[in-house]
Structure 1
Amino acid sequence: MLAETICSAVSAAGLGIAALTAYRRRFLAATRIAAYSLVPVGLVMTGVVQWVSGMVFKPTVWIGFGLLGVAWLLFMTTRAVERRGLGKAAKAPKAAGGAPAREAVAPGASGPALGGRSRPDAKAAKPAPAAPADDFSDIEAILKKHGI
């Protein structure tokens, strides 16, 4: 009963605001306000308000929401643990059909992980960094174009 009264009052106030807005010749905004103000009365007439108010005052419903919250918290905790890598220690290594496991090889030595080849030099694999003049050539061209 109280919920229906509150919804009716909200709708009446909304329609009054819509009338004032229409008086100021803002018809599009007035129509939008009128549409929003009719929603509470429509919810009361369809019985949604009675269903929601009956659900809100039941303790079993709140216990259910609490259990859903605990379940969500547990899911998020396990995801956070997986992302940090703490859960990876329990995983078993791949079978022989999967990717081969890397073995520790001393620098410069050959081993089964490298297929009998010696380890390539780490410095030779890295490309040389570009000269600083190359990095700023585009910026210099733009500045010259604008006379700076």
Structure 2
Amino acid sequence: MVPGLFPSWIVAYLCKPGYVPDFNDLSLLPFCVGLTLLGLIGSWAAWRRRGLASGVRGVAWSLLPVSLYMTGLLELLWDVVKSVTSWVAHLIFSPTVWAGVALFGVSVVLYVVSGVAKARRGDAPEKTAKPKPATDALGELTASGPPPASVTPSKQDKQSKPAKAPKAAKGQESSEFDEIEDILKRHGIN
């Protein structure tokens, strides 16, 4: 750089930490148009060398800078980059931010330690339920289905059960609806 070419206040302003220039419409329009033109030229070359698909894909990428500028998304993208850059600069040079990062790390470590301590102490809820004896499950709906035929109900269980609905005819089984109705009656749902 040539000494004295730029005033010292401009150099000091541009070199301060976290500096990102503001969005300038007039300087970005020619830049976006230039990027689009270069992309279109590259797309034409890609079409000639690699075929139609590569050329059309290049045109699609080439139109993005101008479309971002025209929709205002380029300014939004610029603001996001500017904010992130400013945050990173403040992160690097600010002891307060480093203290906040340290506190965040301590909170994460404490959370993990509390989970390990809870698991070791046995505060975790039981994941398996105790199975019921087969005699208790005779009159209940179970996920495993009806009890096996080898399990015989006791006399008390037989007396406490309501009488089954009479069958329509001997030798015929009741229909599915009769069975469902019987199950609902046993559980008091009518």
- TM-score, normalised to structure 2, is 0.35
The structure showing larger relative contact order (alpha-carbon pairs under 8 Å, at least 6 residues apart) is 2
Larger radius of gyration: 2
Greater share of residues in helix: 1
Q: Normalising by structure 1, what TM-score?
A: 0.43
